[in-house]
Structure 1
Amino acid sequence: MNESENQRSNNNDENLDELRLTVKEAANYINESPGVIRNWMRELKPHILTIQGENGYHYFDKPAIERLLLIRQLSRDQNYSIKQIEYHFATGGKPVRPEPNAEASDLILKNLKVIKDQLELQKEFNATLVQQLKKQQQHMDTQQQYITESLNKRDEQLLLAFKESQQARQEAAATKEEVSEKKGFFARMFSKD
């Protein structure tokens, strides 16, 4: 708080015994918005005792302001919800801490055991799945090897057939040339020149 807020707070403390603050004034006094004060009044009505004027407005005296300051502290500083603040007032200030509950603990343990069992089943399933995937990979590797060997064998056979075909053509061409030469020889011999 700065100096002016401290001074205003001290002045308000002195005058608080005599004055009755409206919702807006009380909100300014405790540094909250009027909407928040109205919400607290609606939710925590039995725990915030206000003075109702003839005009129907609610006025806050010193005990009501102190109660609002406590609510603000619980809400802002300790992060209490409205229900926790209500519990705090209903129990005379007992701190909000969940009591250990044997039934809840047993239920949690049962749920953890179910989860653990499911994890074990999942682990077994994963191991089986990994084995099946390895078998499938081996089968695919075998098929790939067979395909590769078959293609290599086919390529070798095609190359051999091509070479044989080329050789046969060369031999045929050589034979044709030979025949042509022989024909040429005989043709020259019997030709009438």
Structure 2
Amino acid sequence: MSSTATDVVRLLTVKGETLAVAESLTGGLVAAEITSVPGASKVFRGSVTAYATELKAGLLGVDATLLAAHGAVNPQVAAQMAAGVRKALGADWGLATTGVAGPDSQDGQPVGTVFVAVDGPFGPGSGSASGGKVAPLRLNGDRAEIRMESVRSVLALLLEELAGEQTGNERAQDTERNGGFGCLQP
């Protein structure tokens, strides 16, 4: 179990929020990493391993036209997978991985091309109009290394969002305690 997975479970538990995962190239490794953390059952709703492209549309609601035009290795596909699993499994947060672990290229994309995504309850000013964020990755290594780095990257992306939200909430509470504008009142 990674410290990132432990931190994700801890922050979700503190916030009383839940997580669902949609995986393609990682084939269940993200779910395995999360569920290796004691107490994960409080926050982890479940996962969908949609390895076959048609399952991304059928189970996760990814736009079939998008899949037909661009293939499964696409940033919009990753974003729609994260949003779809969040909705399908009734979670506060959704994660997704899609990409090419090798040994061969796929959808015109070289080995090591990966997109990881997070979808969640982003607030105003989060920089995300759609409710989701996607990180493009260009990874080196063999199949196993690419898959494991994809797991680390998607968990780090979620942790960044959870920690950022936590920091934002703490600032809001400080401002409220200190008179509304961050200054102490007599």
What TM-score comes out, normalization by structure 2 length?
0.21
Normalized per residue, the structure richer in helix is: 1
Q: TM-score, normalised by structure 1?
A: 0.21
State the structure with more CA Rg.
1
Higher relative contact order (Cα pairs below 8 Å, separated by 6+ residues): 2
